[in-house]
Amino acid sequence: MAHLIAPSVLSCDFANIQRDVEMINNSTADWFHVDIMDGVFVPNMSFGFPVIKAINKHATKPLDVHLMIVNPDQYIQQFADAGSDILTVHYEACPHLHRTVQAIKAAGMKAGVALNPHTSVDLLENVINDIDMVLIMSVNPGFGGQKFIQNACEKVKQVKALREKYNTDILIEVDGGVNLDTGKQLLDAGANVLVAGSFVFNSDNPTETITRLKSI
Catalytic residues: 35, 175
Task: Note whether 192 and 4 are within 8 A (CB).
Answer: yes
Q: Judged by CB, which is closer to Zn ion: 33, or 160?
A: 33
Q: Cα-atom radius of gyration of the chain, to the nearest Å?
A: 16
Could you say which of Zn ion, ligand DX5, none residue 186 binds, taking C-beta under 5 to 8 angstroms by partner kind? none
**Spatial separation of the C-alpha atoms in residues 86 and 114, rounded to whole Å:** 12
C-alpha torsion angle, residues 64, 151, 208, 44 (rounded to 10): 50
Residue 165 host element (H or E):
helix 152-166
Query: Which of 35, 38, 64, 173 forms a contact with Zn ion (CB under 5 A)?
Result: 35
- CA distances (Å), 93 to each of 38, 113, 129, 153, in order? 12, 10, 20, 23
Least separation, in Å, of the C-beta of 164 and Zn ion? 26
| Stretch 136-175: interaction string toward Zn ion, x if CB under 5 A | ---------------------------------------x
Which among 77-85, 93-101, 173-181, 182-190 is the span making contact with ligand DX5, rule CB under 6 A?
Answer: 173-181
- Residues contributing to the site for ligand DX5 (CB under 6 A): 8, 10-11, 33, 35, 66, 139, 141-146, 175-178, 195-199
